[in-house]
Amino acid sequence: MFFDIYNLVRSANLTPEKDLDDAQKTAVHLAVPLHDVLIGRRLIAKDVLGNLMAKSMGIEYIDLKRIMVPKEILTLVKEELARERRVIPFAHEGGALRLAMQDPKDLETINFIRKVTGLTVIPFLAFERDIKFGLHQYKSSLADTFTKLLEQAKKRHGHVTLQELAEDVSVVEAVNQMLEYSVIQEASDIHIEALPDLVLVRYRIDGVLHDMISLPKDLHAAIVARIKILSTLKLDESRLPQDGRFKFESEERDVVSLRVSVLPTVEGEKVVLRLLESGEPEFSLENLGYDSASVVTIKRILTRPHGLILLTGPTGSGKTTSLYTMLNLLNTGEVNISTVEDPVENHIRRINQTQVNPQINFSFAEGLRSLLRQDPDIVMVGEIRDADTAGISTNAAMTGHLVLSTLHTNDASGAIPRLIDLGAEPFLVASTLELVIAQRLVRKLCTHCSVSKATDPNVVNYLVASVSEPAEKELLAKIIPAETRVAPGCNFCNYSGFSGRTGLYELFTINDEIRQLILDRSTAKKIKDAAIRNGMHTMLFDGAAKVVAGVTTVEEVLRVTFD
């Protein structure tokens, strides 16, 4: 973006000057665009900033994520040209082509596209991430892409070695496209499963697995071999499980780290790839689904110089994303932040990140001992999973460090007995623990096709009956409206009715009553009852609030909150 955004926003008086200055410092510190920080922290709405910037140039702003561009419009500008010049055609009316541009001042590109298309070009401003989204729309379906590539691969499969098969140009391209589409679809996992008569490829999108494509069974060995080569696994070993990792760079230069698991099954090896990096740092707790009261609480506790903050929930519930967002908020030039993780899922500029390595006995505990000698102000431990890590973490929080970590428990109150069971002394837990957040992820309704519908009273009754606290039960029964939103599905959401995910949260702050219960080694139930009496809302209640707001559905909330 070729704008003096700082002075533009300052002149418009849209953001308090202190917040604007803090955002500018963060942008410089992390080497990211100022508009990403402003939008991410919700200091200014994306549309407001886009329109402000466009107006300063005498043009209009377009949010490409809100429209689905017809294929016939995209074909007016070839994908290679669109990718090279960072432009997206999105409408064609009466001899005029509406063109979203990352740099609308680029007259050379405007004139070139006018000559190529023979149309008058009307430039619109679009943000870089929206241009990337538009470029994704050029892609045909995964099935169409694979058909041609796999036909070429099958012709070459004669009597060749597994190594040669894995390095066949068509197999290489086919696996690359499989990875490319996983980035486009924002998948978290890829499953490659051998069935008796075919190979099934599935993507986990928004927490749910979707069948993407079926491949001929005789291509299974080639695809598995290619992934083994990428992740430096043994090609000739098919009887034992193997684990590895590698990095993939998409066409849009998004670097994704993948964790690979290969498991022998009766039909052949099954491969699961987990995508670990999105390449886009979060700057806002609100964007993750925290309500305004929770954001105030978290930011207040993050300002404390020492203490322990824990996030709990099952694997894949978004704990690490919440931790990284908090670290981004804390990441200033005045503090030294160090982490020990397994694995390092996102690289954050100017944070010292260390990865554990069990093969050489470099554990969380050992890593934590070492980084505490590095003069840290803030420490993030990927997971407290043993007595050593629990003890060192609580001692570090007691001796002047702010410690953030995760635990695997079902709810917030369960973190306390779990921490004590791991060997942490109750008096240390009572003295250091400041905040526990339990969370789950639910799918968000597609905003393009969601509509109002009468709420099913049976579902509401079931939801209310699931709440144990009388006061919360009564409040829940009052807030569920007669109409809630549903989404039948559309082209934008691939007819799933959902697009993206948000969090359900349970914030448990520690007060004097809770500290005494910890010292008394009280049960999780007693601690939870006390927390609710003191104003804590459960994840189920937070889910109901998001149903009321039209963010998700009752069924989706029930799906993730009942174990």
Domain ranges of the chain: 5-135, 142-275, 286-442+502-539
Residue pair 258/245 in contact (Cβ under 8 Å)? The answer is yes
- Between CA 478 and CA 562 the distance in angstroms is 22
What does DSSP assign to residue 310?
Answer: E
- Between CA 536 and CA 421 the distance in angstroms is 24
Whether 563 has a pLDDT exceeding 60, the answer reads: no
Give counts: helices (H), strands (E), the chain: 24, 19
What pLDDT, on a 0 to 100 scale, did the predictor assign at position 495? 84
- Between CA 261 and CA 240 the distance in angstroms is 11
Per-residue pLDDT reduced to its tens digit, 363-416? 888 999 999 999 999 999 999 989 999 999 999 999 999 999 999 888 899 999
C-alpha 408 chain-centroid distance: 19
Token pair belonging to 119: 């149309």
State the first-to-last Cα distance of the chain, in angstroms, to the nearest integer: 46
What pLDDT, on a 0 to 100 scale, did the predictor assign at position 53? 93
User: Which of 132-136, 284-288, 308-312 is the least confident region?
Assistant: 132-136
What pLDDT, on a 0 to 100 scale, did the predictor assign at position 68? 84
**Residues 159, 165, 170: CA angle, nearest 5 degrees:** 120
Q: Which CATH class is domain 142-275?
A: alpha beta
Percent of the chain with pLDDT over 70: 93
Label residue 222 by pLDDT band (50, 70, 90): confident
- Between CA 310 and CA 518 the distance in angstroms is 15
- Between CA 78 and CA 157 the distance in angstroms is 33
97-117 as b/e: b if 16+ CB within 10 A: bbbbbbbbebeebbeebeeee
Label residue 253 by pLDDT band (50, 70, 90): confident
Percent of the chain with pLDDT over 90: 53
The residue type at 229: I
- Between CA 297 and CA 288 the distance in angstroms is 15
- Between CA 505 and CA 556 the distance in angstroms is 14
Q: What is the DSSP string of 443-479?
A: EEEPTTT-EEEE--HHHHHHHHHT---HHHHHHHHHH
Residue pair 490/449 in contact (Cβ under 8 Å)? The answer is yes
- Between CA 438 and CA 352 the distance in angstroms is 26
What pLDDT, on a 0 to 100 scale, did the predictor assign at position 149? 62
What pLDDT, on a 0 to 100 scale, did the predictor assign at position 59? 95
What pLDDT, on a 0 to 100 scale, did the predictor assign at position 151? 63
User: Which of 220-229, 338-347, 503-512 is the least confident region?
Assistant: 338-347
- Between CA 42 and CA 285 the distance in angstroms is 9
Q: What is the DSSP string of 518-536?
A: HHTT--HHHHHHHHHHTTP
Task: Return the beta strands (E) in 319-365 as ranges.
Answer: 337-341, 352-355
Please name the fold of domain 5-135. Answer: GMP Synthetase; Chain A, domain 3 (3.30.300)
Beta bridge mates, 81: none
Per-residue pLDDT reduced to its tens digit, 137-175? 887 666 666 666 666 655 655 555 667 666 777 788 888
Whether 278 has a pLDDT exceeding 70, the answer reads: no
By C-alpha distance, which of 460, 541, 560 is closest to 501?
560
Residue pair 308/316 in contact (Cβ under 8 Å)? The answer is no
Token pair belonging to 521: 């080694």
Q: Is pLDDT larger for residue 255 or for residue 260?
A: 260
User: Which of 245-254, 259-268, 404-413 is the least confident region?
Assistant: 245-254
301's enclosing H/E stretch is helix 292-302
Residue pair 445/485 in contact (Cβ under 8 Å)? The answer is yes
538-553 as b/e: b if 16+ CB within 10 A: bbbbbbbbbbeebbbb
Residue pair 230/262 in contact (Cβ under 8 Å)? The answer is no
- Between CA 121 and CA 60 the distance in angstroms is 13
Label residue 339 by pLDDT band (50, 70, 90): very high
Label residue 540 by pLDDT band (50, 70, 90): confident
Give residue for tokens 């040209």. 81
User: Which of 134-138, 233-237, 251-255, 294-298 is the least confident region?
Assistant: 251-255
Q: Is pLDDT larger for residue 478 or for residue 394?
A: 394
Beta bridge mates, 308: 403, 433
Label residue 97 by pLDDT band (50, 70, 90): very high
Label residue 133 by pLDDT band (50, 70, 90): confident
- Between CA 414 and CA 523 the distance in angstroms is 8
- Between CA 382 and CA 406 the distance in angstroms is 6
Give residue for tokens 């998948």. 187
What pLDDT, on a 0 to 100 scale, did the predictor assign at position 21? 92
Whether 294 has a pLDDT exceeding 60, the answer reads: yes
Token pair belonging to 21: 């200055």
Label residue 358 by pLDDT band (50, 70, 90): confident
What pLDDT, on a 0 to 100 scale, did the predictor assign at position 442? 95
Q: Is pLDDT larger for residue 145 or for residue 219?
A: 219
Residue pair 295/284 in contact (Cβ under 8 Å)? The answer is no
- Between CA 532 and CA 174 the distance in angstroms is 53
47-75 as b/e: b if 16+ CB within 10 A: ebbbebbbeeeebebbbbbebebeeebbe
Beta bridge mates, 242: 262
Label residue 537 by pLDDT band (50, 70, 90): confident
What pLDDT, on a 0 to 100 scale, did the predictor assign at position 357? 85
State whether residue 13 is helix, strand or coil: coil
Beta bridge mates, 205: 187, 208
Per-residue pLDDT reduced to its tens digit, 68-93? 888 899 999 998 999 999 999 999 98
C-alpha 380 chain-centroid distance: 18
Peptide bond into 70 cis (omega under 30): no
Whether 280 has a pLDDT exceeding 80, the answer reads: no
Q: Is pLDDT larger for residue 188 or for residue 475?
A: 188
Label residue 514 by pLDDT band (50, 70, 90): very high
Whether 58 has a pLDDT exceeding 70, the answer reads: yes
Residue pair 545/471 in contact (Cβ under 8 Å)? The answer is no
What pLDDT, on a 0 to 100 scale, did the predictor assign at position 154? 58
Q: Radius of gyration (Cα) for the chain, nearest Å?
A: 26
The pTM for the full model equals 0.83
Give residue for tokens 């541009």. 101
Instruction: Please give the mean pLDDT across all residues of the chain.
Output: 88
Whether 29 has a pLDDT exceeding 80, the answer reads: yes
Per-residue pLDDT reduced to its tens digit, 481-509? 788 888 998 888 878 899 899 999 999 99
**Residues 61, 64, 66: CA angle, nearest 5 degrees:** 105
Please name the fold of domain 286-442+502-539. Answer: Rossmann fold (3.40.50)
Other CB atoms within 10 A of residue 473 CB: 15
Dihedral through CA 549, CA 554, CA 556, CA 562, nearest 10?
A: 120
User: Which of 206-220, 394-408, 470-484, 528-542 is the least confident region?
Assistant: 470-484
- Between CA 113 and CA 523 the distance in angstroms is 69
